[in-house]
Structures are given as C-alpha cells and as structure tokens.
A and B are shown apart, each in its own frame.
Chain A
C-alpha cells in the first residue's frame, strides 16, 4: 500500500523583488507504507518544501498529494513533523510538551500525563519531566521531540534534518534512538535499554519478523548522504534548485537492525555511498555554481 503519493507536484514562490521562483518542478514520488525513505539533495533544492507539501503546511502550486490513497486537503492529519529547529514550547515543561498532542486531542490530563510518563521512560528522560526545554541539552530536546511525535502514534513521520544542529556523536546516538523506536515499536527494555542508553553499542533484540505494516512510514530529509544511507530503506536524490526534480531513487539493501556504530565502515555501506555520491556530487557542483 502507498502511504504517500506525490504526482507531478510543482511549487512556485513569489520572490521579494516580485519575480517567481520555481522550487519544485513536477516531482512524482510514491512511498510505500512502513518504509523509511530519505530524501537528499544539495542545500536550497526544495527538500523542505517537498516535506511541507507532504505535511499540508504548504499547498502545491500544481499536482496532487495523496495520503493513504486519499487526496490531501489542509493539514496532513496522518503525520507528525519533526522540524530542524527546536519546536518544543518553551513555557511548557518536558512532560507537558510530550503530552501536548494528546491534550489537544481532548485526552483527560491524568491519562495524557500517564502516557507521557511512559514515553519519557522510553526515551530515558523520566528524571527530567519537570524541567523546561531551556534546561536540557540539544540531544535531550530531540528525544523529547521524538516522544512528542511518537505519542500520537500516527502512521507517518516527516523529518526535516532533525539532527543537523547536533554534534557528531550526539547525532549518531539520536539516529540510533530513532531507528530503535522505528524498528521495534514496542521498545527495548531491561538490559537492552540500559546498554542503549550507555551508548556503547546498539543491542538490538533479535528482529522478530515484525510486519512492515506496523512500522511508521518515515520521510527523512537530510543533506547528509551518509545519514541517509545509514537510516533509510531507500534514498531519493533531488536535483539542485531551482526547479528541483527527482534524479535518482536507490534502494538500500542493508540488514536490519543496523548497528550504526559499525555500519559506516562496512563494505556494503561504502559501495552504496560511492554509487549514490556519483549522482549527488553532480547536483552539489551545480548548486554551488548557481549560488
């Protein structure tokens, strides 16, 4: 089943000098339910615009968007969105931020708080429930944001360079946490959880043949090819802007669960990287010439 389908989607913006800028040009893309798809492209290629269109935050100038087979009008209520910037409400504490989506949906506050507590335990932040976002580190804020998104249990997760502001090591740890949540929706417990939190090595429970349908569909936008390959089932390469379009789609046939601490040096990974970089490199060069 197709979770997200873009058909000849184009988007123009009015520039400050009154002209028009064509960010996306006739992008067609079908993403199967339960897939983890990464979208890469040079900066300014309209990756974020594509995601905003999938979220319903920005309407396409032409073309159509279908979510789970239905035409999208208004906001995409089957998805949550992890933004590049911090999007936690600074005046709400960690627990209130995690519970926010439930509260907005009218869940009684006792129930919402109880479920938020469960999620805080899963991302290892129980001790910080009463803290405010400004009192947390960047990595902690990302974990709160993941819990805030995941608690709603919508089928689709749109992510716009969510970890780009983090340092390399924190970033790798967040990627691991993301994959853990995504690969094992029921979570890891006990010693596995503890090992995960120590950040030594991902100790993944043997993958129990979980049906792909139960996983969320993830659309992950990044400019980092390495991150894209490490996380995704499929990498989509967008051309340099203006008038970005899909130049390549490449499946990533790496086993799951993936050990991100070792994966990047494996031969299969390096082969994939080489063949995808051959495509992306040309677009990056074009984008730098245009800039």
Chain B
C-alpha cells in the first residue's frame, strides 16, 4: 500500500496547480480587456463579474434563483432515476418486452431535448414542472441503460452460487441483481446529475420566471455580458461542489470495490 502521506502531498500539488491555472486564466482575461485587446462589451471583465456576483449575494437575489434550479434538477434526477431504474430492471428481466420496445427506446433517445422544451412548456406551463420534465428525459435514459446493462451483466457464477445457497427468485433479485445494477447506477450518478442540471437550465432559458437559466436569458436579452458570465460562474461553481459531494457518496457506496 502506498503511504498516505505521499498521496496527500500529491493531492496538495494538484490543488495548487488547479488554483494557479484558474488564477492565470482570470489574470490574462482581465489584462487583455484592460489593454483593449478584447472588448469588454463582448466578453465583460473578471472584476465586473466579481462585482456583479457580490451584488447578487449581498442583495440575496441569487439564492431564490439558485434554489429553483437545484429544486428542478433534484426532482428531475429523482423522477428520472425512479423511472429509468424500474423500467431498466423490468426490461432486463423480460427479454421479450425488451426486444419489442428496443427500436422505440432508441428513437426516443435520439430526439434532441431542446426540441421537446417548447412542448413541455405547453403541457406543463412556465413553472418548475416543464423544467423537471426536460431533466427527466435526459436522466431517464442514462439510468435506464445503466440499470439494464447492470442487471444483464450480473455475474452468472454469483447467480448460480446464491441459488445453490438456497436463494428464491426474490432473494436473488435482492442480493445479486439489484446490487449488481447499483454499481452501474452509482457510477453514472455524476453524468445523471450533470444532465439533470442541463435539463433544468435549458428549460429555464427557453421560458421561465425564475432560476439561473432565466437569469442568463434575461441578461442576454439586454446584451449584459457581465450578467451572462456571472450566471455561468454560479452554475460552474455549483456543479463542482455538487459533484465533489457525489464523488464522496459514490466512494462510500462502492467502498467494497478494490
């Protein structure tokens, strides 16, 4: 086993470089705009973006929008996961159904989601549910395919062994098939969460009254590039924080892996 001190040092070095890369990029951006090589009208400038962010934080206007986006993403993730996992499981357990529906699943998955957004606005209104629906269409397929694969890929020897040890069909599902599928599902949690946020933000962007996507769309409507970049920054930071959390969760859930 490698010494944990060596790996801690390595992590420190990586973090230092990560901060350095960000700082250099921001400094270069600020300098290029200040020197007039880039036009602030098109690309804003980091100092302005920072000012805008602090205004949002101080006035508190940011939190409502952020909460809306997170709520939509989380609902989209939950509903999409529930549908994807149960359908994936059902399909894997009944090959006939899987074969019948296979072309339809592929067709639906090929539909660009942006095309669906106006339909969902029509069906579910300007509130959060049209965004949730959009997130669901993205999350569903990731979860569906991973569950399907996970159940189908369950090790034949594990299944035979558990059956020899006396498992009923129900116990087989509980002790082998579900855990086997869960490893696939957990490994796709990062992707799913990212998709859920994309769904929510795109939905807000195309028609909403709140949310980060709405903030960005409003800013674009008035050529307020500072507002657009500030909104993007918030999104980026949120994704990094949430995915760090998901990584920890994933490591804990899959702690039995070597």
Is A62 close to B, CB under 8 A?
Answer: no
In the complex, A77→B257 CA distance in Å?
Answer: 31
Is there a chain B Cβ closer than 8 Å to A110's Cβ?
no
List the A side residues contacting B158 at CB < 8 Å.
Answer: 87, 89
**Looking at the complex, which of A3-11, A26-34, A98-106, A205-213 is the stretch in contact with chain B?**
A98-106
Task: Supply 9 A–B pairs (Cβ within 8 Å), ascending by A.
Answer: A75-B164, A83-B160, A87-B160, A90-B257, A91-B179, A100-B165, A104-B171, A132-B256, A135-B258
**Docked pose: A91 CA to B166 CA in angstroms:** 19
Q: Are B175 and A89 in contact (CB under 8 A)?
A: yes
Chain A residues closer than 8 Å to B161, beta-carbon distance: 81, 83, 87
- Shortest Cβ gap from B159 to chain A (Å): 9
CB distance from A158 to the nearest CB of B (A): 8
Q: Give which listed residue, A80, A83, A134, A152, contacts B256 with CB less than 8 A.
A: A134
Q: C-beta contact mask, A67-95 vs B, less than 8 Å → 1, else 0? A: 00000000111011101011101111100
Asked if B162 is at the interface of the complex by the 8 Å CB criterion, the answer is yes
| B219 at interface, CB cutoff 8 A | no
Which residues of B, 150-170, contact A by the 8 Å Cβ criterion?
A: 157-158, 160-168
Q: Is the CB of A55 within 8 A of B258?
A: no
Cβ contact within 8 Å between B166 and A77: yes
The reply on A194 being an interface residue by CB < 8 A is no
A85 to B258, CA, bound (A): 17
A79 and B258 contacting across the interface, CB-CB below 8 Å: no
| A92 proximity list for chain B (CB < 8 A) | 175, 256
Q: Which residues of A contact B49 (CB under 8 A)?
A: none
Contact among A55, A86, A132, A152 with B166 in the assembled complex (CB-CB below 8 Å): A152
Q: Given the known inter-chain contacts A93-B256, A135-B258, please indicate yes or no for A85 contacting B157, CB distance below 8 A.
A: yes
A148 at interface, CB cutoff 8 A: yes
| From A83, A93, A100, A134, contact of B157 by CB (8 A) | A83
Total A residues in contact with B, Cβ cutoff 8 Å: 27
Cβ of B206: which chain A residues have Cβ within 8 Å of it? none
Q: Mark B99-143, 1 if CB is under 8 A from A, else 0.
A: 000000000000000000000000000000000000000000000
B185 to chain A: closest CB distance in Å? 13
Asked whether A57 is an interface residue with its Cβ less than 8 Å from the other chain, the reply is: yes
Nearest Cβ distance between residue A165 and chain B, in whole angstroms?
13
**What residues on B are CB-neighbors of A75 within 8 Å?**
163-164
Alpha-carbon distance A101/B157, docked complex (angstroms): 16
User: Which among A81, A104, A132 has the greatest number of chain B C-beta atoms within 10 A?
Assistant: A104
Secondary structure of the B side of the interface?
Answer: helix
Chain A residues positioned under 8 Å from B183 (CB to CB): 91
Chain B residues with Cβ below 8 Å from A133 are: 256
**In the bound complex, do residue A55 and residue B164 qualify as a contact, i.e. CB atoms below 8 Å apart?**
yes
Instruction: Write out the residue numbers on chain A whose beta carbons fall within 8 Å of the beta carbon of B182.
Output: 91
Q: Which of B157, B166, B258 has the most CB of A within 10 A?
A: B166
Q: What bracket does the count of chain B residues touching chain A fall in?
A: 20 to 34
Q: Is the CB of A104 within 8 A of B256?
A: no
Choice from A86, A87, A104, A152 contacting B167 with Cβ under 8 Å? A104
A104 in contact with B165 (CB, 8 Å): yes
Which residue of the partner chain A has the closest CB to B258? A134
> 16 other contacts beyond A75-B163, A134-B257, with CB at 8 A cut-off?
A57-B160, A76-B164, A79-B164, A81-B164, A83-B161, A85-B157, A89-B175, A91-B179, A92-B256, A93-B256, A100-B175, A101-B166, A104-B162, A104-B167, A104-B168, A152-B165
Closest to A149 in B: B165
Q: Does B38 contact A (CB under 8 A)?
A: no
Asked if B176 lies at the interface with its beta carbon under 8 angstroms from chain A, I say yes
B157 contacts across to A, CB distance below 8 A: 83, 85-87
Contacts of B256 in A (CB 8 A): 90-93, 132-134
- In Å, the complex CA distance between A55 and B165 comes to 11
A111 to B182, CA, bound (A): 28
Within 8 Å CB of A77, what residues of B?
166
Interface centre among A86, A89, A92, A152 (most CB of B within 10 A): A89
- Given A83-B157, A104-B171, A132-B256, also A89-B176 (CB < 8 A): yes
Closest Cβ–Cβ distance, residue A81 to chain B (whole Å): 4
Contact A80 B165 (CB under 8 A): yes
Contacts of B255 in A (CB 8 A): 132
Nearest-CB residue, chain A, relative to B159: A87
Residue of B nearest to A96 (CB): B175
Taken together as a complex, chains A and B put the C-alpha atoms of A90 and B257 apart, in Å, by: 7
In the complex, residue of chain B having the shortest beta-carbon distance to the beta carbon of A57? B160
State the CA gap A35–B168 with chains docked (Å).
30
Task: Take A89-B175, A91-B179 as given contacts and tell me if A105 and B166 are in contact as well, using a CB distance cutoff of 8 Å.
Answer: yes
Our pick among A79, A81, A91, A101 for the contact of B160 (Cβ within 8 Å) is A81
Q: Is the CB of B164 within 8 A of A89?
A: no
A92 and B183 alpha carbons, distance in the complex (Å): 13
CA distance A135 to B258 in the complex (A): 7
Q: Which residues of B contact A135 (CB under 8 A)?
A: 258
Instruction: Determine the distance from Cα of A219 to Cα of B56 in the docked complex, in whole angstroms.
Output: 75
